[in-house]
Structure formats: C-alpha cells, structure tokens
Amino acid sequence: MRIASRLLALACLLPLAAMAEEKVVKIGVLNDMSGLYADLSGSGSVEAAKMAAEEFGNKVAGMPIQIVGADHQNKPDIGSGIATKWYDVDGVDAIVDVPNSGVALAVAKITADKNKVFIDSGAATSDLTGKACTPNTVHWTYDTWSLANGTGKAVVKAGGDTWFFLTADYAFGKALERDTRAVVEANGGKVLGSVLHPLNTADFSSFLLQAQASKAKIIGLANAGGDTINSIKSAAEFGIVQGGQKLAGLLVFITDIHALGLKTANGLQLTSAFYWDRDDKTRAWSKKFAARMNGRMPSMVQAGVYAGVLHYLKAVQALKSDQDGKAVVAKMKALPTDDPAFGKGTIRADGRKIHPMYLYEVKKPAESKGPWDYYKLVREIPASEAFRPLDQGECPLVAAKK
C-alpha cells in the first residue's frame, strides 16, 4: 500500500504526453537564470517580455498572452530539452532570449523543425544569421561581427593601431579574435601577437605580463563573462592602464562593469547596442524596468527581449494568428520596427535585426553621478555599417533568392 502511494506520488512528477489547448499566445523566455549570464538576462528578460505584453493589454488578436520562463543553465542539452518539451507538450509558440551560442544554435534548429518562432537576443554567434540561418529565426541585439567591427574599427580609427589579443581557448573566443583581427588589419592596424588562455581562468597575471611585454597599444579581450572580468581585474592590479596600454573589451555588458566597479574598469572601451542613458526614450523605458527590478538598469540583452517580443506581437496582430512560424517571421521582416529601446529599424532577409551600434568608454569614478552611470559615448556606428553585409553571411535563405 505504501509502495503504491509512493509510486503514485512519483508518477505525478512525470510530464504527461497530452497536448495543451491552442488558443493562447504563449511566449517562452529561455535563458540563464542561475549562472554566469543571470544578471544580464535571467529574470530581467522575463520582466522585459511582460512589459511588452502589457503594452498590448496582455491580449493580441483576441487571444490572451502568456509568458513563461525557464533556466537552460548554459547547457545545450538542457536548453534543447526544454525547447522540445515547450513546443511538443506545453504549447509554446515562440522562444525568446537564449544567451549562450551553443544553446541558441540547438534551439534555432528545433524551432525550424517544428515551425515556431525564435527571437534570439542574448547569443553572440553570427552563424544564427549566417550558416545556421532559418526562416524561423530572428537575431536581435548584437553578434560577434558587429562587436568586432564596432570595437575593432572604432578603436583603430581613434589611434589604437597596435593590438595584442587575450583569447579564451574555445570556439567562441577564437571566433571573436578572428573577426576582430580581420577588422583591425583591414583598417590599417597591426596585430603584434596573441595568447590563448584556458576557459574560466582565475588568474591572468602571466597572460597579462605577455601582453605588457608586447608593448601593443591595445589589449583586446577576446573572451566573455568571468574571464573578461578577471582579465580586467588583474590588469588593474598590474598597472596595465597606468603603464599606457588600453583595454578593449570585445564582449562586455553593463552588468560586468557594475560587478567590477569604475575604479577597476575605467578607460575600457566596448561596443553596445543599447545603453539606458542614451536618450529620453531609453531613459523613460529603463526607469520603468528598474522600478520592477529593484533599481537595476536593463542590459542590452533585456532591452532586446522587450523590443523583440513587442515586434512579434505586432506581427501576430497583423496576421491575426500565431500558428505558422514562418509566416509570422516573414511578417516581422516586412514590418519596420519601432520601439523606445532601439528606435527605428528593420529585420533583414537573413533574420538579422538592423540598428545602430555604439562605442562607449567606461567613465572614471569622478565622472559618474551615481550607480549605473558608467558609459560615455565615443562614437555611433550607423546601422548601415554596423552589421555584416547580407552577401557575406553564407545564409542559404539569401542565396536562394538570387
């Protein structure tokens, strides 16, 4: 008897094979809620999505809007498992956010196979609109190409013409270095050397010493997350910036600067798609976000989730349906975008969202008026230059049209 009741309790944990009712527009926010990217996406992205839904009054084309969230823990197998279950069992129509390129690529394929919609805001890989593009994917916010182009080109033009790379020894880091190197050399700069460091290195002293010895004007950080923060911290300790070299962060978020503090991070140059203090519209929206998030200002990833969901809902409104993923994405590409976070823009044939990018420099502590007041604008990169040209991406959708 006891065994039977225990078995029954266990059975309640099992997901049933039944299908959910299909009269709801269900959006799933899949990201990292507990790990490295929790601060720049996490629950903030779920709030951002909810804000977009609320602008529609939580109803679109007569159907209620439901937002759900889940943690992919930066693991492709967990992420793809959740995506598959969401589409097969829970009736989710669109998945948004997904920082972490590995998970994003897996979700893009699953979404295409099941004809749903995937709006990525957090992943960096430019393959999402290149080799791995699908008619069901929209890549918002940023990608490695735009970061390399933004930071690389702008820094070289501003005088930083000799570079040394600190590269994380895995596919993403190497891709970032490769893209930036190409941009630097194309703009007349020289790469004096580079060093590969293992992923998740705690101590960068030896690598930074090598960077110092190279006497390059710019030390490019081709890494992300914890590695970037550690590199910057070690650099401050070893007096790199005082010694006359500048650091260029190739993938840095405002949450990283917040974790480092201005004393350590000042002088760092980085490219971003969004900054809360850029203009009146971004300020107004960000303050609304901050009110829901304990005073934390939105990162560009969270802003991208808001804008992406808003545009998705506009497309569903116009089509009066959310069933056919390909049709919805086609409508998203047909309609021009307009939102307080990114301003006006478009979505290209390969799924790439086009908007201007901005090169920022981190302020010194004296220049900052309060928490989150971290950036000063160095240069705006116009939308026409910010992203990889359509014909260079090797996206099958684009080639087919020719």
Partner 1 sequence: MTAHGATGGETSAAIRDRVLARNEMRSLRIPMAIMIALALGAPFVVYPVFLMKMLCWALFACAFNLLIGYVGLLSFGHALFFGGAGYLAAHAAKVWGLPFELAVLTGTATAALLGLAVGWLAIRRQGIYFAMITLALAQMFYFFCLRAPFTGGEDGIQAVPRGKLLGLLSLESDLTMYFVVLAIFLFGFFFIFRVVHSPFGQVLKAVRENEPRAVSLGYKSDQYKLIAFVLSAALAGLAGGTKSIVFHLASLTDVHWGTSGEVILMVLLGGLGTVFGPIVGALVIVCVESYLAQLGGWVTVVQGALFVVCVLSFRRGIIGELSRVLHRPL
Partner 2 sequence: MITFLGVPIQALFSQLLVGLINGSFYALLSLGLAIIFGLLNVINFCHGAMYMLGALLAWLMLEHLGIGYWPALIISPMMVGLFGMVIERTMIKRIAGLDPLYGLLLTFGLALIIQGVARNYFGVSGEPYEIPPQLTGGKNLGFMFLPNYRAWVVLVSVLICALTWFVTERTRLGSYLRAATENPLLVQAFGINVPQLITVTYGLGVGLAALAGVMAAPIYRVNPLMGADLIIVVFAVVVIGGMGSILGSIVTGFGLGVVEGLTKVYYPEASNTVVFVIMAIVLLVKPAGLFGRTT
Binding site for partner 1 (CB under 8 A): 3, 10, 13-17, 33-34, 70-71, 73, 75-78, 80-82, 84-85, 88-89, 100-102, 105-106, 109, 169-172, 198-199
Q: Which two tokens stand for residue 138?
A: 């929209």
For partner 2, the closer CB: 200 or 392: 200
For partner 2, the closer CB: 224 or 341: 224
**Distance of closest approach, residue 359 Cβ to partner 2, in angstroms:** 24
Of 151, 217, 145, the closest CA to residue 179 belongs to 145
Of 72, 102, 120, 129, the closest CA to residue 199 belongs to 102
Binding mask 144-183 for partner 2 (x = CB under 8 A): -------------------------x--------------
For partner 2, the closer CB: 45 or 255: 255
Contact positions with partner 2 (CB under 8 A) in 63-82: none
The entry of partner 2, partner 1, none that residue 17 binds, CB within 5 to 8 Å by partner kind: partner 1
**Distance of closest approach, residue 350 Cβ to partner 2, in angstroms:** 33
Mark the segment that binds partner 2 (CB under 8 A) among 75-83, 176-184, 237-245, 311-319: 237-245
**Distance of closest approach, residue 213 Cβ to partner 2, in angstroms:** 5
Nearest-angstrom CA–CA distance, 275 and 62:
34
Size of the site for partner 2 (CB under 8 A): 37
Interaction of residue 255 with partner 2, rule CB under 8 A: yes
The entry of partner 2, partner 1, none that residue 308 binds, CB within 5 to 8 Å by partner kind: none
Nearest-angstrom CA–CA distance, 45 and 50:
9
Residue pair 324/115 in contact by the 8 Å Cβ criterion: yes
- Of 6, 159, 210, 287, the one binding partner 2 (CB under 8 A) is 210
Amino acid letter, 205: S
Give the phi and the psi of residue 266 in degrees, each rounded to 5: -65, 145
Q: Which two tokens stand for residue 233?
A: 């911290």
Residue pair 283/277 in contact by the 8 Å Cβ criterion: yes
Q: What's the full length of the chain, in residues?
A: 402
- What are the C-alpha distances in Å from 163 to residues 60, 149, 193, 218? 51, 14, 7, 5
137: helix, strand or coil: strand
Half-sphere exposure in the Cβ direction for 10 (13 Å, CA): 6
Site of interaction with partner 2 (CB under 8 A): 34-36, 38-39, 169, 195-198, 200-203, 205-207, 209-210, 212-213, 225-226, 229-230, 233-234, 237-239, 243, 255-256, 259-261, 264
